[in-house]
Amino acid sequence: MLMLILAWSGCASVPRSAGLVRPDELDREPRVLSQPMTEYLEVLRRFGGKAQAVVSATILEDGSVAEANPLQATNPEIGRAAADAVKQWRFESPTRRGVPARVTMPIPILSNLEDATLLTP
């Protein structure tokens, strides 16, 4: 059973380079549309079914993920597995002033295999 909780937290220090907008400039935050987690769940089982990770993800105008890197995690393997999973996710396009935008933001992931609930923003 899995409980995965994602929460957006603003990252005001994101540079405006490469067409990036800051999360606080969005009028619509990206919403998860597709969330493959198979490999992450396998790693999670090896570590007793509970873990935490924060992944920095760059979400493109089309909702795909260009880059995902672990910022912090219960352990390095969980962090890498969480980042690899997020790279496969698809999001509703983030927008700024109604126009699709590119944004880098942290994605906290809390996992617990004891519950069958999946909660996303």
d(CA 77, CA 51) in angstroms, rounded, equals 11
State which H helix or E strand residue 91 sits in.
strand 90-91
> Residue 16 — φ and ψ, nearest 5°?
-90, 10
pLDDT band at 17 (very low <50, low <70, confident <90, very high): very low
| Res 39: pLDDT | 87
Whether residue 7 contacts residue 105, with contact meaning beta carbons closer than 8 Å, is answered with: no
Q: Which residue from 54, 81, 55, 57 is spatially nearest to 67, judged by alpha carbons? A: 57
pLDDT band at 115 (very low <50, low <70, confident <90, very high): low
Is the pLDDT score of 113 beyond 80? no
Which amino acid, 117? T
Residues with Cβ within 8 Å of residue 30, at least 6 apart in sequence: 59, 63, 91, 92, 93, 94, 103, 105
pLDDT per residue as tens digits for the range 42-91: 898 888 888 889 999 999 999 999 999 999 999 999 999 999 999 999 99
Domain of 83, in residue numbers: 3-119
CATH code for the domain of 94: 3.30.2420.10
Segment 106-117 mean pLDDT: 74
Number of domains observed in the structure of the chain: 1
d(CA 103, CA 18) in angstroms, rounded, equals 10
For the chain, percent of residues with pLDDT exceeding 90: 59
pLDDT per residue as tens digits for the range 87-104: 999 999 999 999 999 999
Note the pTM of the prediction, 2 decimals.
0.78
| Res 119: pLDDT | 38
pLDDT band at 28 (very low <50, low <70, confident <90, very high): very high
